[in-house]
């Protein structure tokens, strides 16, 4: 049986077992024991095996991608297209989220008692998230340039690592070919070793996914879902809508690819994203899917996808838009159209800055809340249901990265065809001139 089918079975079986355990023996000691001592550790080991490959994978694939482009003009062109697409698609998804939250007004249905109960229950978690350090504005830009690339790698500071890898790859194309060649071969081998490790780790995936999903569902309190049902429905509905219509259209129009085939072939990425809640942990699978299933050339997949795992988060942008407005509604903060445009812009920017790990966007969202005048601690209200929303938004985050790689691959093919055509025609003109001069 193919691996992704086995992973899907792990997912469904884990969810079923978890839901059953929660329904039949809610919060029973033995269920909690199983979660803490079996399911969660197995899931975490799987997650860590993937995460342990991310630093060398990002470095190797970006350097090889940039070196594979050959010259810096091509790097500039592809980089520009990639970033442009990231911004466009994230803005689109944020607008979808904001529209839905305005139409359905999920915040209007939360009464005073529910509000204070949730605030009290999750207040300390919110305070802990709020205390995490984040850089925004000019500082964020400065911090992207690492003082020490090894420190950036050790801290999993992906933007800085990407920056270093881009500069490293670019410099490789600037030194003499015979000097660059051995380095490229070493990094190529590094990339292959990492891919092998991922291959081995993925053999654990069906069990890891079972464990991760079981741990979430067995512990989950459905009561919260009743209280926050409308909010959860708006986020999930928005994600489904944006995925099925928005992303499918982008795949068709910009990627020139059949959306149904796209979703079918991306299954492995979708399941991995859903069960790990982490774009970074899904990166290895995403690169394999883009190259093996969608036919994206390796340098492009190796360049666009690591960038996307950190910078392109369509699902997160949508989720942030909905959540900020929802909390503003609950706390009676009236947001004008101008303020909502600001929320959309901030959702896109913070989605770029958010780490591709579970709950990576939460500290940044607190900053957005503060900026528009809503209390940042109000995030406590939604923490209890965040995991399921995190799993779902991460699916769209990684699917969005795949659509970006399809778009860049297609437009590069078109550019190459144009270049060939113009070379052929100038060749033809040159030949004609020679003929004429004879």
Give me the least distance between CB of 390 and ligand ASP, in Å please.
Answer: 5
Place of tokens 């904001």: 98
Phi/psi at 257 (5° precision): -125, 145
Give me the least distance between CB of 386 and ligand ASP, in Å please.
Answer: 8
Contact residue for ligand ASP among 173, 217, 329, 361 (CB under 6 A): 361
Distance CA 326, CA 77 (A): 39
Report DSSP state, residue 38.
I
Distance CA 188, CA 224 (A): 49
Q: Is 235 or 330 the residue whose CB approaches ligand ASP more closely?
A: 235
Distance CA 16, CA 250 (A): 34
Let me know: does 397 contact 352? Beta carbons within 8 Å: no
Q: Of the ranges 194-202, 206-214, 235-243, 357-365, which one interacts with ligand ASP (CB under 6 A)? A: 357-365
The Cβ of residue 3 has, within 10 Å, a number of other Cβ atoms equal to 14
Phi/psi at 77 (5° precision): -65, -50
Q: Is 387 or 410 the residue whose CB approaches ligand ASP more closely?
A: 387
Contact residue for ligand ASP among 157, 377, 390, 401 (CB under 6 A): 390
Q: Is 345 or 416 the residue whose CB approaches ligand ASP more closely?
A: 345
- Burial of 362-398, coded b for 16+ CB within 10 Å and e otherwise, reads bbbbbebbebbebbbbbbbbbbbbbbbbbbbbbbbbb
Q: Of the ranges 158-166, 226-234, 272-280, 367-375, which one interacts with ligand ASP (CB under 6 A)? A: 272-280
Q: Is 34 or 369 the residue whose CB approaches ligand ASP more closely?
A: 369
408: nearest Cα among 317, 300, 324, 286: 300
Total residues contacting ligand ASP by CB under 6 A comes to: 16
Let me know: does 334 contact 430? Beta carbons within 8 Å: no
The Cβ of residue 26 has, within 10 Å, a number of other Cβ atoms equal to 13
Let me know: does 381 contact 135? Beta carbons within 8 Å: no
Q: Does 360 participate in binding ligand ASP (rule CB under 6 A)?
A: yes
Q: Is 66 or 94 the residue whose CB approaches ligand ASP more closely?
A: 94
Token duo for residue 215:
């741990």
Contact residue for ligand ASP among 322, 357, 372, 380 (CB under 6 A): 357
Contacts by 413-421, CB closer than 8 A, 24 or more apart: 415/77
Token duo for residue 85:
């697409």
Token duo for residue 316:
């997160």
Q: Does 279 participate in binding ligand ASP (rule CB under 6 A)?
A: yes
Q: Is 153 or 309 the residue whose CB approaches ligand ASP more closely?
A: 309
The Cβ of residue 144 has, within 10 Å, a number of other Cβ atoms equal to 17
Q: Of the ranges 85-93, 121-129, 159-167, 353-361, which one interacts with ligand ASP (CB under 6 A)? A: 353-361
Q: Is 158 or 300 the residue whose CB approaches ligand ASP more closely?
A: 158
Q: Is 51 or 313 the residue whose CB approaches ligand ASP more closely?
A: 313
How far from the centroid of its chain's Cα atoms is residue 157's Cα?
15
Q: Of the ranges 170-178, 191-199, 328-336, 389-397, which one interacts with ligand ASP (CB under 6 A)? A: 389-397
Helix (H) or strand (E) run with residue 101 in it: helix 72-104
Contact residue for ligand ASP among 354, 404, 408, 409 (CB under 6 A): 354
Contact residue for ligand ASP among 146, 206, 211, 356 (CB under 6 A): 356
Give me the least distance between CB of 282 and ligand ASP, in Å please.
Answer: 8
Q: Is 118 or 311 the residue whose CB approaches ligand ASP more closely?
A: 311
Contact residue for ligand ASP among 61, 173, 217, 316 (CB under 6 A): 316
Contact residue for ligand ASP among 160, 278, 314, 323 (CB under 6 A): 278
Phi/psi at 202 (5° precision): -65, -20
391: nearest Cα among 290, 299, 270: 270
Residues 295-314 that bind ligand ASP (CB under 6 A): 313
Let me know: does 396 contact 318? Beta carbons within 8 Å: yes
Give me the least distance between CB of 361 and ligand ASP, in Å please.
Answer: 3
Residues 46-85 that bind ligand ASP (CB under 6 A): none
Distance CA 60, CA 64 (A): 6
Q: Of the ranges 29-37, 192-200, 201-209, 386-394, which one interacts with ligand ASP (CB under 6 A)? A: 386-394
Q: Of the ranges 22-30, 37-45, 203-211, 351-359, which one interacts with ligand ASP (CB under 6 A)? A: 351-359
Contact residue for ligand ASP among 173, 275, 312, 394 (CB under 6 A): 394
Note the residues at the interface with ligand ASP (CB under 6 A).
277-279, 313, 316, 354, 356-361, 390, 393-394, 397
């Amino acid at each position: 049986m193919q691996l992704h089918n086995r992973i899907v079975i792990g997912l469904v079986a884990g969810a079923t077992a978890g839901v059953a355990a929660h329904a039949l023996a809610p919060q029973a000691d033995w269920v909690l024991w199983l979660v803490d001592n079996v399911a969660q550790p197995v899931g975490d080991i799987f997650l860590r095996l993937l995460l342990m490959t991310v630093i060398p994978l990002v470095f190797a694939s970006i350097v090889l991608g940039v070196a594979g482009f050959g010259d810096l003009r091509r790097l500039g062109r592809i980089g520009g297209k990639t970033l442009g697409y990231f911004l466009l698609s994230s803005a689109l998804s944020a607008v979808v989220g904001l529209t839905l939250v305005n139409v359905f007004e999920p915040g209007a249905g939360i009464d005073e008692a529910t509000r204070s109960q949730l605030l009290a229950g999750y207040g300390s978690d919110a305070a802990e998230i709020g205390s995490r350090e984040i850089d925004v504005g000019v500082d964020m830009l400065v911090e992207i340039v690492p003082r020490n690339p090894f420190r950036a790698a050790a801290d999993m500071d992906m933007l800085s690592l990407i920056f270093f890898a881009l500069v490293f790859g670019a410099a490789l194309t600037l030194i003499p070919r015979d000097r660059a060649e051995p380095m490229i071969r070493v990094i190529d081998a590094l990339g292959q070793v990492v891919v092998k490790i991922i291959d081995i780790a993925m053999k654990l995936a069906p069990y890891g996914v079972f464990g991760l999903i079981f741990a979430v569902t067995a512990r989950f309190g459905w009561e919260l879902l009743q209280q926050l049902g409308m909010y959860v429905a708006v986020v999930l509905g928005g994600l489904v809508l944006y995925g099925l219509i928005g992303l499918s259209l982008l795949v068709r129009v910009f990627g020139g690819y059949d959306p149904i085939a796209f979703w079918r072939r991306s299954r492995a990425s979708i399941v991995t994203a859903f069960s790990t809640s982490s774009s970074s942990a899904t990166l290895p699978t995403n690169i394999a899917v883009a190259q093996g299933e969608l036919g994206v050339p390796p340098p492009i997949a190796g360049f666009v996808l690591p960038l996307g795992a950190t910078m392109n988060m369509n699902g997160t942008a949508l989720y942030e838009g909905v959540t900020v407005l929802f909390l503003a509604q609950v706390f009676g903060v009236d947001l004008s159209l101008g303020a909502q445009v600001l929320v959309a812009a901030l959702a896109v920017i913070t989605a770029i800055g958010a780490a591709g790990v579970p709950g990576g966007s939460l500290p940044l969202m607190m900053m957005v809340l503060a900026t528009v005048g809503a209390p940042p601690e109000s995030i406590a209200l939604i923490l209890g249901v965040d995991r399921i929303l995190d799993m779902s938004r991460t699916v769209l985050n990684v699917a969005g990265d795949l659509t970006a790689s399809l778009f860049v691959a297609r437009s590069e093919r078109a550019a190459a065809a144009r270049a060939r055509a113009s070379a052929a025609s100038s060749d033809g003109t040159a030949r004609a001139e020679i003929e004429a001069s004879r």
